[in-house]
Structure 1
Amino acid sequence: MKRMLFAACAAVALIGSPALATAAQDNGTAASTAPVPGGAYTLDKAHASLTFSVNHLGFSWYTARFAEFDAKLRFDPADVSAASVEATIDPNSLELPSPPPGFTETLKGPEWLDTAKYPTITFKSTKVEPTGEQTARITGDFTLHGVTRPVTLEATFNGGYAGHEMDPNARIGFSATGSFNRSDFGIAYGVPAPGTTMGVSDQVKVVIEAEFTGPPLAGASGGAK
C-alpha cells in the first residue's frame, strides 16, 4: 500500500499565473497585494499533508498517510512551464488508522515497502504543463521500492500572497492528486486476481495538500507564522 507519491508528491505545487499570483487573503491584518515573487520556495510542513488510498476487497478505499516528507519548489509566475519541484518521503513515517498489532510493521516489511532496504521515496519533476488558469499537470520521476518510473500529478493553485504582517514571506498553496500501480514498482503482494476484488488494489491514489513559503516581503519587520 503506497500512496506515496509523491511526493511527491507533494510537491506538486506549481501553478500560479501572474493573475493568480496576486491573490491574497485578509484575516484582519494587511496582506501585501504585490505579485507573488518567483524564486525558491520551501514546504511549510505545518500546513501540508500526504495521504494515499488503496481499494480493500472492493468494499472501501483504505486511507493512510506519511507523516514525514519535504519538498522544494522553484517557479516563475510569468513562466509556469519552467517550474520544478523535488520531494522526499520517509516511508518509515507511515501512519495507519487504528492498525491491528503488527500491521504497520508488516507494511514496512519485505512484502510491501521494505523500508529497511529502501528508506527513501522521491519525486523529481521533469515537465510542468499549464492546463488552465489555476491548474497544471506535473510529470516527474517517482522512485519507490528501488524502481523509478514516471508519475503524473494534477495540481490546483489555491492562492498566495507576497507577504503578510504576521507572515512576512511569500506564501502559496496547492492541492494535487495522482495515481499509480504499485506492481509497476515491484510491490505486487495481495493484488487481486484478474476479474476479482479479493485483495488490495494495484492502483494507489494519492492526495497532496501543500503550502510553500518563499522570498521575504520587502520592508517586512518580521512576525510569527
Structure 2
Amino acid sequence: MKTKALKHLLLIASAITLAASSVSAQQNQPPETTKAFITEAPAGAYKIDLSHADLTFRVNHLGFSLYTARFTGFTAQLHFDPANPKAMSVTATIDPRSLALPSPPEGFLETLLSPEWLDAAQFGQITFRSTQVEPTHANAVRITGDLTLHGITKPVILDAKFNGGYAGHPYDPNGRVGFSAKGHFNRSDFGIRYGIPAPGTTMGVGDKVEVIIEAEFTGPPLKIAQ
C-alpha cells in the first residue's frame, strides 16, 4: 500500500510540474506581432482630416504643472493596411508658426518662435517620417520614425491605438480610420536647450516633451455594389 501511495504522489507531482511548465512557457511567449486590425476600412492611401485632428504637446513648468500647447497647421498622409499593420507608414509636416498657446503673455509667442527656441524663421518645417511599424497587441502599434526638428533629425517612437474605421457612409463616401497616439522626446537632443533646469532642480522648463495626437484620416471612396 505504501508503494502504491508513493507512486500516486509521484504521478501527482509530475502532473503539477508539467502544468506549471506549460503555464510558464505560455507566459514567456513573445506577444502576437502580426494581428490584423478588425475593420471594414479598406487598405490604401489616406490623408488627415484636419477638422478631426489635434496635435498637442506638454512640458514640465517649474515642477508645478505640465504646460500644454498645440500646433494647428499640419498635414499627414497614411498608408493603411489593416491586414498587415507592419506594412503601414505615415508622414507628417508641421508648420512651427502655427503654434497656439493658452492665454500667452504679450510677446511670449514671438519668444518661442525665436532662435532661442523653435527658430521658425530658419527652420520652417517640422517633419516626421515613419521607418518601422510594429504591432504590440490588438489594435495597437509602435511607430518608429525620424523626427526633424530645429534642423536636427533623430528617431522618435509613438505608441498608437487604432480606434476603428469604416469603408464609407452615404454622408461620408470615403473610407475613414481613427488613431490616438502618444510619444515623447528630449528637446535638448534637437538643440533646444534654453531654460532646461539645472541638475537637481525644477526651476525652468523641462527637457522632456510629451506629444499627444488624435487623428482621423479619410481614404479610398466607398465601393457601391452594382
State TM-score, norm by structure 1. Answer: 0.83
Secondary structure of the structure 1 residue equivalent to 2:182? strand
Q: Which residues of 2 match residues 8-157 of structure 1 at below 5 A? A: 18-21=36-39, 35-157=40-162
Asked whether the equivalents of residues 185 and 210 of structure 2 are also in contact (C-alpha less than 8 Å), the reply is yes
Q: Identify, as 1 or 2, the structure richer in helix.
A: 2
Instruction: State the 1:165 CA deviation.
Output: 1.3
Q: CA 1:41 to 1:17, structure 2 compared with 1: closer, same or farther past 3 Å?
A: farther
Could you say which residue in structure 2 is the equivalent of 1:196?
A: 201
Alignment-mate amino acid for residue 46 of structure 2: Y
CA distances 1:11-61 after superposition (whole Å, capped 9, x unpaired): xxxxx965521xxxxxxxxxxxxx211010000010000000100000000
Q: CA 1:162 to 1:18, structure 2 compared with 1: closer, same or farther past 3 Å?
A: farther
Secondary structure of the structure 1 residue equivalent to 2:144? strand
Asked whether the equivalents of residues 36 and 162 of structure 1 are also in contact (C-alpha less than 8 Å), the reply is yes
Could you say which residue in structure 2 is the equivalent of 1:212?
A: 217
Identical-pair percentage = 67
For structure 1, which runs of at least 5 residues remain unmatched after alignment?
1-15, 22-34, 221-225
**Larger RCO of the pair (alpha carbons < 8 Å, separation 6+):** 1
Asked whether the equivalents of residues 50 and 65 of structure 1 are also in contact (C-alpha less than 8 Å), the reply is yes
**Number of residue pairs matched?**
192
Runs of 4+ in 1 over 3 A off after TM superposition: 16-19
Could you say which residue in structure 2 is the equivalent of 1:32?
A: none
Secondary structure of the structure 2 residue equivalent to 1:81? helix
Asked whether the equivalents of residues 36 and 139 of structure 2 are also in contact (C-alpha less than 8 Å), the reply is no
Q: Which structure: larger Rg?
A: 2
For structure 2, which runs of at least 5 residues remain unmatched after alignment?
1-33
What CA distance in whole angstroms lies between the structure 1 residues aligned with 2:54 and 2:189? 24
Instruction: State the 1:129 CA deviation.
Output: 0.3
Asked whether the equivalents of residues 158 and 174 of structure 1 are also in contact (C-alpha less than 8 Å), the reply is yes
What CA distance in whole angstroms lies between the structure 2 residues aligned with 1:199 and 1:116? 24
Q: Provide the alpha-carbon RMSD of the alignment.
A: 1.3
Asked whether the equivalents of residues 20 and 133 of structure 1 are also in contact (C-alpha less than 8 Å), the reply is no
What CA distance in whole angstroms lies between the structure 2 residues aligned with 1:39 and 1:86? 14
